[in-house]
Amino acid sequence: MDQAERLRELMDLPLRRARAIAVASGKGGVGKTNLAVNLGLCLSRLGRRVILADVDIGLANADVLLGVEPRFHLGNVLAGEVGALDALVTGPEGLLLLGGSSATSFSDLGPEERAFLARTFRELEAYADFLIVDTAAGISRNVIEFCRAADEVLVVTTPEPTAVTDGYALIKAIAREKGAGRIRLVVNQARDRAEAGRVSERLRIVSRRFLGIEVQDLGYVLSDEEVRTAVRRRRPFALEATRSPAAVCVRAIAERILEETRVPSPGGRGFLQRFAAAISQSGALGGRAP
C-alpha cells in the first residue's frame, strides 16, 4: 500500500472530532506559545479535555512554560518509540501536552513518516475536546499546512509595527489556501483595550480590502509584568497570577470560545483528514510558503 492509499484509508475512518485550533504568528517574540499554553489551561479549568501539541520544531518550549519535563516528545513518536497517547504528559489543570522536539525537522520526513504523523494526530483528535496546535513562528510551509488543517487559526500579534506587518503576511499566506478554516486575531501585549482595538481594526480592514476575507477579532491580552514573572518561575501566568490583567484577558478568550456554536469545518472534515490531504498534495512539509 503506497502513501496515498494509506492517507485515504485514514481519511475514511470515523472518529470523535476535537475542535482543532492552530496558534500561529508572523514573527517570534509576540507571546504565541504563552498564549497557547494559558488558553489550554483555561479551557481545561472550564472542564474540557485539552491536548496541546507543540510542533514548534527546533524551538519547542511549551514544556518549560508549563513547568513539566516530558519523558517522551514528538520526535520519539515519529521514531516509533512510543505511541502518541503514551507520549502525553499531564500538566496543571489536567492539560495534556505532546512535547515538541528540538531535533526533528519536518523537512526531513519521508512519505512513511508523513503518513505516520497523520495517524498520530488522528489519535489525539479522537481523545480530546480541544486540540491546540502551537506552530512555529513565521510563514514556512510547515506552519501553513498546520494552519490549513485546523478548524480555526489564532493569529497572534502585538501592536509593534513589524509584528502587525508580519501578522498580515501570515494571514495572506493562509488565505491563499483552499479549504482553510476561519482566521481569528488576538492582539497580545496591548497597553489598553483601545490600542488593541486599533491594531485589530487595521488588520481586519486590510484583510477585507486586499484579500477579500473576514478576519474575526477574538480578543486581546494586556501587557502585564506578571507574565514575565511567571515565565521566570516556569509557571503559567493563568495559574501564577489568576487575577492579573493578562490572566483575566485569556480567561475571557477561553470563555468566548466555549460560548460559540461550533462552525462546521470546510467540507465537514476533521483536522486529521485535512492534514492528511494537505501533506498528500504538497508531497513534503519543508520549504517556505509561496
Higher-pLDDT residue of 268, 40: 40
Residues with Cβ within 8 Å of 289's Cβ and at least 6 positions away in sequence, in order, are 139, 140, 141, 143, 144, 173, 176
pLDDT at 269 > cutoff 90: no
Residue 90 in any domain: the answer is: yes
| HSE of 101, CA atoms in CB hemisphere, 13 A | 14
Task: Confirm whether 220 is domain-assigned.
Answer: yes
89-90 sheet: strands from edge to edge:
89-90, 96-98, 50-54, 130-137, 19-25, 152-157, 182-190, 216-222
pLDDT tens string 193-223: 999 999 999 999 999 999 999 999 999 999 9
Write the pLDDT tens digit of every residue in 170-200.
999 999 987 777 999 999 999 999 999 999 9
95 belongs to a structural domain? yes
* Residue-number span of the structural domain to which 204 is assigned: 3-278
The answer to whether position 119 is within a domain reads yes
Query: Could you report the per-residue pLDDT of 104-129, keeping only the tens digit for each?
Result: 555 555 666 666 776 777 778 888 99
C-alpha cell belonging to residue 241: 497570577
DSSP secondary structure string, the chain? --HHHHHHHHHTS-----EEEEEEESSSSS-HHHHHHHHHHHHHHTT--EEEEE--TTS--HHHHHT---SS-HHHHHTTSS-TTTT-EE-GGG-EEE---SS--GGG--HHHHHHHHHHHHHHHHH-SEEEEEEEES-BHHHHHHHHHSSEEEEEE-SSHHHHHHHHHHHHHHHTSTT--EEEEEEEEESSHHHHHHHHHHHHHHIIIII--PPEEEEEEE--HHHHHHHHTT--HHHH-TTSHHHHHHHHHHHHHHHSPPPPPGGG--HHHHHHHHHHHHS-S-SB--
The pTM of the whole model exceeds 0.95 = no
CB contact at 8 A, 154 and 254: no
| Nine-digit cell string for 91 | 500538566
The per-residue pLDDT for range 49-78, each reduced to its tens digit, is 999 999 876 677 899 999 999 999 888 887
Pick from 19-23, 127-131, 249-253, 282-286 the range whose average pLDDT is largest. Answer: 249-253
Residue 288 in any domain: the answer is no
With beta carbons less than 8 A apart as the criterion, state whether 178 and 190 touch: no
Is residue 286 a part of any domain in this protein? no
CATH no. for residue 226?
3.40.50.300
Nearest-10 Cα torsion for 77, 80, 85, 89:
-50
Task: Please check whether residue 287 lies inside any domain of the structure.
Answer: no
pLDDT of residue 279: 53
Judge whether 285 lies within some domain.
no
Our count of domains for the chain comes to 1
Judged against a pLDDT cut of 90, whether residue 2 lies above it is answered with: no
Q: Classify residue 1 as exposed, middle or buried by CB count within 10 Å of its CB (0-12, 13-18, 19+).
A: exposed
